[in-house]
Amino acid sequence: MTFKLITWNINSVRLRMPLIEKLIEMRDPDIICFQEIKCQNDQFPYKAFENLGYKYHAVHGQKGYHGVATVSKTPLTQIHSTDYVKMGDTRHISTCFEAGGKTINIHNFYVPAGGDEPNIEKNPKFDHKLKFIEEMKLLNANEGDTPAIIVGDLNIAPLEEDVWSHKQLLKVVSHTPIEVEGLNAIMDAGDWKDLIRQHIPTPEKVFTWWSYRSKDWKVNNRGRRLDHIWGAAELAEKLTDIEILTQARDWEKCSDHVPVIATFQF
């Protein structure tokens, strides 16, 4: 069976429902993971998703900020969220689903952006981000007999080819050495595979985010790969395609992130 998964920092799920409908019509995914839904649980557009064929929901929202949600055509079980760094933020939700006769656990993350100054003494937001990353090192790609996936806006572009200019961004939050080291440590500790880079290897540049501040994002192309899909080794073997839907950055009232689509053959 073919199984399609999308992750997208939607930057307000209610505002961008027309774009979500467009994406579903274009790609017809089995599961969609959203970050920055920017609504409380009771404000989430459950009915709209049900009408689109997504009857199952795992939602962890918050008024005005953050929030993650996973919607699915197939049943979701064992829904759980973790309060990383005990800040009360809604930045994580995990759930299990069945595919190809296998139970799979999916973690949906919105890692803190970390503010502007890469200095924990001067910037509490950066300190929060590094502590959040440290706690993520406990995540394992194989949880007993259950392989896992991590998706979401991890707010770190780890490779030189994941940013428009490695040299100019070395001191910019999202590409500093300490953040990259932390992200790599999560991957190594949990035996995770970077599925995007498995399918699109370096030296090809890959971006999933372009700032709203850019007057012409296409011409400047000052992007970063902030959105990720990781998986256990056995799931990496089932991966058949990764698509970065760059055209979505041109949609009317678009998010500054674009959908990332992974296709598996189970």
Domain ranges in the chain are 2-265
Task: List the catalytic residue out of 54, 56, 84, 110.
Answer: 110
Task: List the catalytic residue out of 153, 194, 227, 256.
Answer: 153
Average pLDDT of the residues of the chain: 97
Summarised one tens digit per residue, pLDDT across range 173-199 is 999 999 999 999 999 999 999 999 999
Residue 119: DSSP 8-state: -
Per-residue pLDDT at 220 exceeds 90: no
% of the chain at pLDDT higher than 90: 94
- H-state helical runs in the chain: 17-27, 46-51, 124-136, 166-169, 177-190, 195-199, 217-220, 233-236
In whole angstroms, give the CA distance from residue 21 to residue 18: 5
Mean pLDDT over 29-46 rounds to 98
Query: Residue 259's closest CA among 54, 5, 3?
Result: 5
In whole angstroms, give the CA distance from residue 31 to residue 126: 31
Q: Which position has the token pair 């919607």?
A: 71
Q: Which position has the token pair 């309060």?
A: 83
| CATH tag, 2-265 | 3.60.10.10
- Chain centre distance of CA 184: 16
Residue 258: both structure tokens together:
């674009």
Give residue 105's identity as a one-letter amino acid code: N
Mean pLDDT over 113-138 rounds to 97
Active site residue 153: yes
Confidence grade of residue 100 (pLDDT, cut at 50, 70, 90): confident
Mean pLDDT over 111-124 rounds to 96
Confidence grade of residue 30 (pLDDT, cut at 50, 70, 90): very high
pTM recorded for the entire structure: 0.97
In whole angstroms, give the CA distance from residue 72 to residue 32: 7
Per-residue pLDDT at 104 exceeds 90: yes
Per-residue pLDDT at 143 exceeds 90: no
